[in-house]
Amino acid sequence: MEPRQTPTKLAAAALSILDALGAQKAPPRAPFSGAELSTQLEVSRTQIWKHVEQLRARGYQIEGAAGGGYQLKTLPDRLYPELIRAGLHTKSLGQHIEHYEHADSTNRIAAELARQGAAHGTIVVAEEQTAGRGRLGRSFYSPPHQNLYLSAILRPNLVTEAAPLFVLSTAIAVAELIASEVDDGTSDGDEVSIKWPNDILLRGKKTSGILLEMHAEGARVDSLVLGIGINLNADPESFPESFRSQATSLSHSTGRQIDRVDFTRRLLARLEEVFDQHLGQGFEALRPRFERRFHMQGKAVTIDEIGGQRYAGTVLGIDSDGALRLAREDGSICRVLAGDVTLAPAGAAKQTLSKA
């Protein structure tokens, strides 16, 4: 068993120093003398120096010279709470963030925090996962300092049967944000699609996965933990060989580095907007946005359920509860609530439809 993991913390005084040095401003940032910082924060020059050293150890490049003060040169490429919240405009999602340099699974940590009473909107992020989890017990490849591994704690007023639809709502937010990153205005807008129930594909290759875990009290939801993993800057050549040909990353597709902090801020804002609409108007209000990215309709698929049942047929669409409707070769129509989907080769859909 791995040792208990603890979030990285930053002292309040160090946060104040960051604000004074202009962490929220674009470079070049003006120098700030130690004496000015000491007076402003009402702490000794020695304490200022200790906090500056803590910031340097955290990856902030802060230069200092006798008589010249401290100058913040560059920010670290880390998903630190102070960096994410600096430009975050949400009511609840991300207002409290737990950051881990190394974690076994952000979903496991978030579930534990939820059981301890963590507030709605609490976020867990990790720079690396050593036991990242996907659906059906699969591992999720999680190299350090390259991608986004995030879990959100939600406390919606829902019956348990309505909870799975939050996976589809989350998929809308993730797919739309990825599309905004890769669309340069010259494409037809169809490069990003949702593969039911929880994958986001970019040009046919997986770039994101979503994992929903629920804790219920009776027939109602006590808490949901939504895990989101997005390949942002990882090189596909570094992926495990078993799925290298099936996955990609945003940076590989766009040819540029993705700003992980900015991407996380925009994702949280988009998620909150989608969740608010879901809770206020129901998933049906979001259905047009889902179907805009749902390119499976009319395609032949094979679905393996967790219990071992296998279904083959042509996708008809999504029911109001999020189940996949499938036309089988014998003409019957079935509903599948969850399973592992394999798309059939091109041309198979027409053959299946002709037999329905």
Q: How confident is the model at residue 215 (pLDDT cuts 50, 70, 90)?
A: very high
Tokens 């599948």 -> residue: 336
Tell me the average pLDDT of the chain: 89
Phi, psi of 106, deg, nearest 5: -65, -35
* DSSP 3-state of 50: helix
Q: Is residue 98 domain-shared with residue 48, that is, in the same domain?
A: no
Question: 60, 107, 47, 50: which is closest to 86 by C-alpha?
Answer: 60
* Counted domains in the chain: 3
Task: Specify the DSSP class assigned to residue 249.
Answer: -
Looking at residue 266, its pLDDT comes to: 97
**Domain region containing 29:** 12-74
Looking at residue 1, its pLDDT comes to: 42
Looking at residue 16, its pLDDT comes to: 93
Q: Is residue 85 domain-shared with residue 208, that is, in the same domain?
A: yes
Residue 221 lies in a domain: yes
Q: What is the CATH number of the domain that holds 329?
A: 2.30.30.100
Residue 3 lies in a domain: no
Q: Highest-confidence range of 63-67, 100-104, 141-145, 182-186, by mean pLDDT? A: 100-104
- Average pLDDT on 343-353 reads 53
- How far is Cα 55 from Cα 58, in angstroms, rounded to an integer? 5
Report in angstroms the alpha-carbon separations of 235 from 7, 138, 179: 27, 21, 19
Q: Tally the C-alpha atoms within 13 A of residue 43's C-alpha that lie toward its C-beta.
A: 15
pLDDT > 90? residue 193: yes
Q: Is residue 57 domain-shared with residue 141, that is, in the same domain?
A: no
Q: Which two tokens stand for residue 251?
A: 């940076």
Examine the fold and report which residue of 269, 293, 317 is the final residue of a domain before the chain moves on.
293
pLDDT > 60? residue 355: no
Nearby residues of 16 by Cβ (< 8 Å), 6 or more positions away: 40, 41
Least confident of 63-72, 74-83, 162-171, 323-332: 63-72
